[in-house]
Amino acid sequence: MSWRLVARKDVADAIRQYHLHLTGVVAVLLFGGTAYVTSRTFEGIGAPPGAVAGALATLGTFLVPLLAAGFSQGDVVGMRERGDLKLLLGLPFARRDVILGSVAGRTVVVWASVLFGVGAATLVALARGANVAFDFLLFATGMIGVIGAVFVAIAIGISASVSTETRAGALAIAAYFLFVFQLWNAIPMAALWAVNGFALPPSSPTWVDVVINCNPVLALWNVFAAVLPGNPSFVARLPSTPPVYRTVPFAVGVLAAWLVGPVALGARRFDRTDL
């Protein structure tokens, strides 16, 4: 399939341009560093199971979306501005192939970096005598990969919809802050304020909390909070019977929606524009 060719080229480009080297080094340093710090308690003994995984999960939530968005936002729009999109589309590739191939290619690069980072972290943790719980570590790595893919999807969706790299970059950074620093919450709150006669009610109705939990990063936190011991997140501890919008299935649905939605919308927009 043609999108595979595009994906392969995308990965090869990331290697040729040393992007992969850069993200790999950053991941190794930061994940490794985190593992170094959290592998021993202050008393000097090895950290309990799940501590390292928890710390890496926290780091991953802040770092990986930034790497993913940062290295993906220029992909499609860069091709367009430079003119090598015309080279590509002079060959038998559909516009859809370009989008899907770019998403796949960038995701591979992000995942490779995460693996390098977590690999380095594991070695460091073991060397420092931490009691590494591999099942939690694997789970955390997998979920970090998922949020990485989500942010690649969001960034490519943006890249496909705008015409200049400057705009793509600005929107990608905005998306990062919107989701990771939960500025997203302002949206339902503003809507509530408007609907309530321009004043905030004493307590917020359920729908506000539902919308708040449709933030993909918050969905990720909810999953971590449910699975990893010791509640490694900045998010409020989960009650024993969490509301629907904080359960794992809901969170997985949110992540899936943010994976598919931006790509579909970006592809549609891209399909309709004149070059």
Partner 1 sequence: MAAIHLDGLVKQFGDVRALDGVDLSVRDGEIFGFLGPNGAGKSTTIDVLLDFVRPTSGTATVLDMDAQAESTAIRARTGVLPEGYHLYDRLTGRQHVEFVRESKDLDVDPVAALERVGVADAVDRRAGGYSTGMKQRLMLGMALVGDPDVLILDEPSSGLDPAGVRDVREVVRDEAGDGTTVFFSSHILSQVEAVCDRVGILRGGRVVAVDTVAGLRDAVGTDATLRVTVEGDPDRVEAGVDAVREVAGVTSVGRAGADVVVRVEDRGKIEALHALEDAGLAIRDFETQEASLEELFLAYAEGDG
Catalogue the E-assigned strands of the chain: none
Q: Measured from the CB of residue 100, what is the shortest distance to partner 1 in angstroms?
A: 14
Q: Which stretch binds partner 1 (CB under 8 A): 11-19, 126-134, 238-246, 253-261?
A: 11-19
Cα within 13 Å of Cα(267), Cβ side: 17
36: phi then psi, degrees, rounded to nearest 5: -55, -45
Q: Does 264 bind partner 1 (CB under 8 A)?
A: no
Cα gap 170→184, rounded to integer Å: 16
Q: Does 239 bind partner 1 (CB under 8 A)?
A: no
Q: Which of 90, 202, 239, 249 binds partner 1 (CB under 8 A)?
A: 90
Cβ closest to partner 1, residue 251 vs residue 267: 267
Cα gap 89→270, rounded to integer Å: 13
For the segment 69-88, give every residue that binds partner 1 (CB under 8 A). Answer: 82-84, 86-87
Cβ closest to partner 1, residue 15 vs residue 29: 15
Nearest in space to 147 (alpha carbons), one of 218, 211, 75: 218
Q: Measured from the CB of residue 180, what is the shortest distance to partner 1 in angstroms?
A: 32
144 and 91 in contact (C-beta within 8 Å)? no
* CB crowding 31-51: b at 16 or more within 10 Å, else e: bbebbbebbbeeeeebbebbb
Q: Measured from the CB of residue 66, what is the shortest distance to partner 1 in angstroms?
A: 25
Q: Does 275 bind partner 1 (CB under 8 A)?
A: yes
Q: Does 272 bind partner 1 (CB under 8 A)?
A: yes
Give me the residues that bind partner 1 (CB under 8 A), please. 2, 5, 9, 13, 16-17, 82-84, 86-87, 89-94, 272, 274-275
